[in-house]
Structure 1
Amino acid sequence: MQRLACIFWLGLKEMVSLRRDWVMMALLVWSFTLAPLMEATGVASSVNNASIAFADEDNSPLSRALSAAFFPPEFQPMVQIEPGSGPEHLDAGRFLFIVAIPPGFEKDVRARRNPEIQVLIDATAMEQAGIGASYITNILSTEIRRFAIGADLVDPAPVDLVVRSAFNPNRDTVRFAGIVALIGQIMWLTTILTGAAMIREREHGTIEHLLAMPLAPFDIAVAKIWANAAVVLVAAALSLTFVMQGSLGITIAGSKALFLIGTALFLFTATALGVFLATLARSMAQFALLVMLVVLPMLMLSGGETPVESQPDWLQVGTLVLPSRHYMAASQAIVFKGAGVETVWPEFMWMAALGTMLLTTSIMLFRRSVAQEN
């Protein structure tokens, strides 16, 4: 009982030290407010508010229908420009897309001559340009086919395909990106806070003061783990409530409490990883490099950026030892699909097992490093 009390008070001491570290406090606030907000809304993987212009030399009912087929929020209100002025507008950066319809376009369509439409794209906006080209092609093709069917130029398709997107019917990228951004910040910050606390004790020489007390290396490591995990868990809960649900309007399909339980398990694993990396590093600079080499690949392979199923078979097997993969899978199942404990318990067990292994290894290395210093 006395040992638990020592771990508890040592953890409170860690929280007080964190409160006095204004740089870490600023990083904590930034990571759970503006950072996920900017990542969710600022990096779009779909066309949004793209500027578009039409150079209509045909001025027919079909060409006017084509120009009226582009709507917000994907595109800005369409602007008519003078034929032949497209390159000038692109050079000036006024429009991202310019559609040029040649004279006699509708007449050629009715005569089945397969006329061409020119689309000019400012490809300096690479992602928007590539996705927008597909958007424009689909919209123009759909409108031309609708016109051709109405004019009895082609027969209607024998099969009408109806596509329904499960769990995200509007295909809202903000909803998905917001949760992925929050998970990424949890991973980064937890590892950094715990590891930096260990390095700070060593660089300031206070680790010897702690070891002079009736404390074992296990007590010191566990105190830092629970203190930093508690701080990040509270920050994550506030971010989920006020940033994700409040500012971004993200709805949680499943249990918020279950999501936080999974987050707590993941924090246990991430803080143990922070202790492990801090034990390997001899300075803050080395620790920062280790974080980049370890945490960044963990985030990239977690399934948030690209599905795990899209990775090579051998890499999919390797990601089973990454706690970020199991946390990402459990979080997405809870938040987007409304999954319960009966679905996510294997991921929870994986995180608990990996966290226990990391903690055991970290304490063994920490004891060895303390013995070498003494």
Structure 2
Amino acid sequence: MLRHLSNIFRLGVKELWSLLRDPTMLVLIVYTFSLSVYTAATSMPETLHHASIAVVDEDHSPLSARIVSAFYPPQFVKPAAISYQDMDPGMDSGMYTFVLNIPPNFQRDVLAGKYAEVQLNIDATRMSQAFTGNGHIQNIVLTEVNEFVQRYRSNADLPVELALRARFNPTLEKSWFGGLMQIINNVTMLAIILTGAALIREREHGTIEHLLVMPVTPTEIMLAKVWSMGLVVLIAVAASLNFVVRGFLHVPIEGSITLFLVGTTLCLFATTAMGIFMATVARSMPQFGLLLMITLLPLQLLSGGSTPYESMPIVVQKIMLLAPTTHFVELGQAILYRGAGLDVVWKPFLALFAIGAALFALSLKRFRATISGMA
């Protein structure tokens, strides 16, 4: 037993030295858990932030001036006053996301109780802001018109009061969600890439033949790759949580980071084995890249991190129960967001261990067949 453990340890150290000599992989690791996490958390806000808007005011009335003054930072930039002739060229050139056209005699028609129409033009290519800003601008215009007609600002007393409580993210800040989910997604991606690339690199450099003449078993070779590459990702995750998520993004983490890292270890056990299996199927690094594309996208998009798991078709839900990322997202959100303990997340822990054991056995069988053909 001690000899087996010594072989696994020494082979793992060899993998770490090989990784240190690969500057491309080192840059990928640093970028994946630093800039990638930061940009994913901050670059795509779901709320309006400095949306560009222009107003074609053909009425020049107190009501139209009131509507224009209702658009203010940080949701919108200061509205640009443009003419009707500049509306289409401005939107064609991408200068404005929204252009509000207030027609002549608008205030007179509103006060007379006549039908009045305001045109809102939206650049729908800016999908995130267009979708959110559409309803936001409609509410602003209708609110200002109603208050102008009633001649005072007030809220109607309703018989029911809706008390809104945003749990686990009181300010509904997207960066709290985006940063942590990017780390969870990157764990799967990097674990598969590192282990798969390590095996293909050995095959391309011819060092796999050297291992075949050494007194080591395929199980020892696989376990060495699993623990060494998994350790690298685990250290990167811990550093990213503390320095990027907590430090730069100021995201509070409710639960135990230690418990989350234990769950990450189980996920790495499964995903590193998956990377080895894919590397035995691929004959070269380009083929491995193609396999990675068709494997990684479903794992990330259908795991429940981007879209709620319950909103997916039943068939997809059942299929994704076999994916380690589904259970990793579940335990990650429960621990980091809601402060859950082991009494809550033991089921995804158990599922990850079972999936990891199955993937490891399948990968080991394939790995043995591959090196037997090379011997």
Count of aligned residue pairs for this structure pair: 374
Which stretch of structure 1 is more off in the superposition, 274-283 or 137-146?
A: 137-146
Once the two structures are superposed, the pairs formed by residues 48-197 of structure 1 within 5 Å of their partners are: 48-82=49-83, 85-150=86-151, 158-197=159-198
Q: Is the 8 A contact 1:149 1:155 kept in 2?
A: no
* Aligned-residue offset at 1:293: 1.6
What amino acid maps onto 2:220 in structure 1? D
Deviations 1:119-172 (A, max 9, x none): 122233233223321221223233334445555999765544343332223222
| Counterpart for residue 218 of structure 1 | 219
- Any idea what SS the aligned residue of 1:253 has? coil
Q: Is the 8 A contact 1:148 1:154 kept in 2?
A: no
Deviations 1:225-266 (A, max 9, x none): 000000011111111111222222222122222222221211
What amino acid maps onto 1:192 in structure 2? I
* Aligned-residue offset at 1:336: 1.8
What amino acid maps onto 1:242 in structure 2? F
| Counterpart for residue 246 of structure 1 | 247
| Residues 1:283 and 2:279 aligned together | no
Distance 2:76 2:156 in 1: 31
| Counterpart for residue 369 of structure 2 | 368
What amino acid maps onto 1:42 in structure 2? S
| Counterpart for residue 329 of structure 2 | 328
Q: Is the 8 A contact 2:273 2:360 kept in 1?
A: yes
* Aligned-residue offset at 1:290: 1.5
* Aligned-residue offset at 1:90: 2.3
Distance 2:202 2:93 in 1: 56
Any gaps of 5 or more consecutive residues in structure 2? none
Distance 1:231 1:269 in 2: 15
Distance 1:131 1:152 in 2: 25
| Residues 1:339 and 2:340 aligned together | yes
What amino acid maps onto 2:40 in structure 1? E
Change in 2 beyond 3 A, CA 1:183/1:155 = closer
| Counterpart for residue 17 of structure 2 | 16
* Aligned-residue offset at 1:103: 3.5
Which stretch of structure 1 is more off in the superposition, 9-18 or 331-340?
A: 331-340
Q: Is the 8 A contact 2:147 2:153 kept in 1?
A: no
* Aligned-residue offset at 1:4: 0.6
Change in 2 beyond 3 A, CA 1:110/1:164 = farther
What amino acid maps onto 1:348 in structure 2? F
- Any idea what SS the aligned residue of 2:6 has? helix
Distance 2:144 2:339 in 1: 38
What amino acid maps onto 1:21 in structure 2? D
Distance 1:356 1:47 in 2: 46
* Aligned-residue offset at 1:83: 5.3
Distance 2:288 2:156 in 1: 66
| Counterpart for residue 227 of structure 1 | 228
- Any idea what SS the aligned residue of 2:201 has? helix
Q: Is the 8 A contact 1:70 1:78 kept in 2?
A: yes
Change in 2 beyond 3 A, CA 1:158/1:151 = farther
Distance 1:253 1:181 in 2: 17
Distance 1:11 1:43 in 2: 39
* Aligned-residue offset at 1:363: 1.0
Q: So what's the TM-score if we normalise by structure 1?
A: 0.92
- Any idea what SS the aligned residue of 1:251 has? coil
State percent identity of aligned pairs.
Answer: 44
* Aligned-residue offset at 1:117: 1.4
What amino acid maps onto 1:320 in structure 2? L
| Counterpart for residue 267 of structure 2 | 266
Change in 2 beyond 3 A, CA 1:342/1:34 = same
Change in 2 beyond 3 A, CA 1:366/1:47 = same
| Counterpart for residue 41 of structure 2 | 40
| Residues 1:355 and 2:322 aligned together | no
| Counterpart for residue 295 of structure 1 | 296
| Counterpart for residue 304 of structure 1 | 305
* Aligned-residue offset at 1:67: 2.1
What amino acid maps onto 1:187 in structure 2? T
Change in 2 beyond 3 A, CA 1:116/1:151 = farther
| Counterpart for residue 28 of structure 2 | 27
Distance 1:230 1:264 in 2: 8
What amino acid maps onto 2:117 in structure 1? E
- Any idea what SS the aligned residue of 2:321 has? helix
Change in 2 beyond 3 A, CA 1:313/1:205 = same
* Aligned-residue offset at 1:194: 0.3
Q: So what's the TM-score if we normalise by structure 2?
A: 0.92
Q: Is the 8 A contact 1:121 1:129 kept in 2?
A: yes
Distance 2:263 2:30 in 1: 22
Change in 2 beyond 3 A, CA 1:77/1:256 = farther
Any gaps of 5 or more consecutive residues in structure 1? none
Which stretch of structure 1 is more off in the superposition, 182-191 or 139-148?
A: 139-148
Which stretch of structure 1 is more off in the superposition, 305-314 or 63-72?
A: 63-72
Q: Is the 8 A contact 1:179 1:244 kept in 2?
A: yes
Which stretch of structure 1 is more off in the superposition, 5-14 or 281-290?
A: 281-290
Change in 2 beyond 3 A, CA 1:233/1:154 = closer
Which stretch of structure 1 is more off in the superposition, 215-224 or 54-63?
A: 54-63
